[in-house]
Amino acid sequence: MPDISPASPASPAFLAGLPKAELHLHLEGTLEPDLKLALAQRNGIDIGQSTVEEVQATYVFDSLATFLAVYYPAMNVLQSEQDFYDLATAYFRRAAADGVVHVEAFFDPQAHTSRGVPIENVILGYSRAATDAAALGVDAQLILCFLRDFSAESAAETLAAALPYREHFVGVGLDSDERGNPPSKFAEVFATARANGLKLTMHCDIDQVGSIDNIRSVLHDIDVERIDHGTNIVEDPELVAEAVARGIGFTTCPVSNSFVTDDMKADEIVQLLRAGAFVCVNSDDPAYFGAYVAANYAALVEKAGLTVDDVARLAKNSFDASWLPEEKKAEYKAAVDAYIAAA
Ligand code: HPA
Ligand code: ZN
């Protein structure tokens, strides 16, 4: 039996109260079955299922590609600015209950504009929810992600369409199917984003063909500030040392890993932790993988036998890997220490 007494690092109450940042969270991946059904009804869309159980029965995936094949069609229910607001607000409420005080959340405009939804519905709905999240005690910011299985031209058009709303997002990212879509394909659009003062991150998904080459490329060619997933870097200790020296963040997602590969990748995450990397724990697409961020901490603690000190380090790393100003990082890290001291 795992020790889940209140003072143990695996206690759900302890982990939910721990102040933390969430840096790898796709807002579209927070679409719970009940909200999916409600939005389908609101918008008069037949999604082929009418109960939560029927929706859940479609959640069959064992790889990134099979997950994405379930994930994108579900987004049809998102149409109006209010739909995007409602989706993000439901997530921010769950985040607040999980001890998240700061979130830098991904969104995928092309998954919506490609269906004819105006980009302003997406950005303004999510942004209004992010503003209102302050009342929940959550400081929320947005990261615009390009879909890497769309063309580089489509990414450039998306950035151009989004720049009039520049004040609503803090950075850009890259997600969707990595196979055959290396970081270099997007070098130009990321350079344009940087020139517009945006922060840069990219997914390097788990166990992809050429994972380590893509990780090297995002560090050397694109020059990102952090990597989403990225745990295959442990295959190259010199690259790990470089990432540690540069303060690169790694936004890992243990439960997601166990769905799209055969393993949580706990050993790799712990290796990065022990090497001193800014590795942190996140939920990725919690409505699909069944675990919000505190449950991801719990899964990792149990699998890897982590101590309270390890958990505190992971939480502090989540702030160090964030795009907050240094004084805010220090404030939040002090809140982690105070929480641990009082636990
Ligand atoms: N990887 C790539 N694309 C995604 C992911 C992910 O973890 N989640 C949602 N889209
Ligand atoms: Zn992701």
Asked if the model's pLDDT at residue 149 lies above 70, the reply is yes
Looking at residue 112, what is its pLDDT? 98
At how many degrees (to 10) do helices 326-342 and 308-320 cross?
160
The protein residue with its alpha carbon nearest to ligand 1, atom 10, reads: 176
**Range 11-27 average pLDDT:** 97
Looking at residue 6, what is its pLDDT? 54
**Region of poorest pLDDT, from 1-10, 152-161, 164-173, 297-306:** 1-10
**Range 215-223 average pLDDT:** 98
CA distance 75 to 285: 13
The protein residue with its alpha carbon nearest to ligand 1, atom 7, reads: 284
Percent over 90 (pLDDT), the chain? 97
Residue corresponding to tokens 């998306």: 158
Taking the CA of residue 228 as reference, the ligand 1 atom at the shortest distance is 7
- Non-local (6+) Cβ contacts of 232 within 8 A are 204, 206, 207, 208, 211, 212, 215, 268
Q: Looking at per-residue confidence, does 20 or 6 come out higher?
A: 20
CATH topology assigned to domain 24-342: TIM Barrel (3.20.20)
Is the beta carbon of 26 within 6 A of some atom in ligand 1? yes
The protein residue with its alpha carbon nearest to ligand 1, atom 4, reads: 176
Looking at residue 135, what is its pLDDT? 98
Asked if the model's pLDDT at residue 2 lies above 70, the reply is no
Q: How sure is the predictor about 7, in pLDDT bands with cuts at 50, 70 and 90?
A: low
Domain ranges of the chain: 24-342
Q: Global pTM? A: 0.97
The pair of structure tokens assigned to 54 is: 């029927």
Instruction: Tell me, letter by letter, the H, E, C secondary structure of the chain.
Output: CCCCCCCCCCCHHHHHHCCEEECCEEHHHHCCHHHHHHHHHHCCCCCCCCCHHHHHHCCCCCCHHHHHHHHCHHHHHCCCHHHHHHHHHHHHHHHHHCCEEEEEEEECCHHHHCCCCCHHHHHHHHHHHHHHHHHHCCEEEEEEEEECCCCHHHHHHHHHHHHHHHHHCCEEEEECCCCCCCHHHHHHHHHHHHHCCCEEEEEECCCCCCHHHHHHHHHHHHCCCEEEECHHHHHCHHHHHHHHHHCCEEEECHHHHHHHCCCCCHHHHHHHHHCCCEEEECCECHHHHCCCHHHHHHHHHHHHCCCHHHHHHHHHHHHHCCCCCHHHHHHHHHHHHHHHHHC
Asked if the model's pLDDT at residue 1 lies above 80, the reply is no
Is the beta carbon of 108 within 6 A of some atom in ligand 1? no
Looking at residue 274, what is its pLDDT? 98
Is the beta carbon of 257 within 6 A of some atom in ligand 1? no
Mutate to test the pocket of ligand 1, among 284, 288, 296 (most ligand atoms within 8 A of CB): 284
Torsion sign over Cα 288, 63, 109, 135: positive
Taking the CA of residue 176 as reference, the ligand 1 atom at the shortest distance is 3
Q: Are 27 and 91 within 8 A, CB to CB?
A: yes
Partner residues linked to 226 by β-bridges: 201, 249
Is the beta carbon of 24 within 6 A of some atom in ligand 1? no
Measured in angstroms, how far is the CA atom of residue 175 from the centroid of ligand 1?
A: 5
Mutate to test the pocket of ligand 1, among 72, 145, 175 (most ligand atoms within 8 A of CB): 175
Taking the CA of residue 106 as reference, the ligand 1 atom at the shortest distance is 9
Taking the CA of residue 108 as reference, the ligand 1 atom at the shortest distance is 10
Q: How sure is the predictor about 9, in pLDDT bands with cuts at 50, 70 and 90?
A: confident
Q: How sure is the predictor about 5, in pLDDT bands with cuts at 50, 70 and 90?
A: low
- The ligand minimizing its distance to the Cα of 181 is 1
**For residue range 50-67, what is the model confidence (pLDDT) as tens digits?**
999 999 999 999 999 999
Is the beta carbon of 284 within 6 A of some atom in ligand 1? yes
Is the beta carbon of 175 within 6 A of some atom in ligand 1? yes
Is the beta carbon of 286 within 6 A of some atom in ligand 1? no
CA distance 277 to 275: 6
Across the chain, mean pLDDT equals 97
Is the beta carbon of 205 within 6 A of some atom in ligand 1? yes
**Region of poorest pLDDT, from 8-22, 122-136, 210-224:** 8-22
- Non-local (6+) Cβ contacts of 262 within 8 A are none
Could you tell me which of 130, 97, 142, 111 has the C-alpha nearest to residue 28? 111
Measured in angstroms, how far is the CA atom of residue 305 from the centroid of ligand 1?
A: 27
Looking at residue 8, what is its pLDDT? 82
Mutate to test the pocket of ligand 1, among 63, 145, 205 (most ligand atoms within 8 A of CB): 205
Percent over 70 (pLDDT), the chain? 98
Q: Are 133 and 140 within 8 A, CB to CB?
A: yes
Is the beta carbon of 148 within 6 A of some atom in ligand 1? no
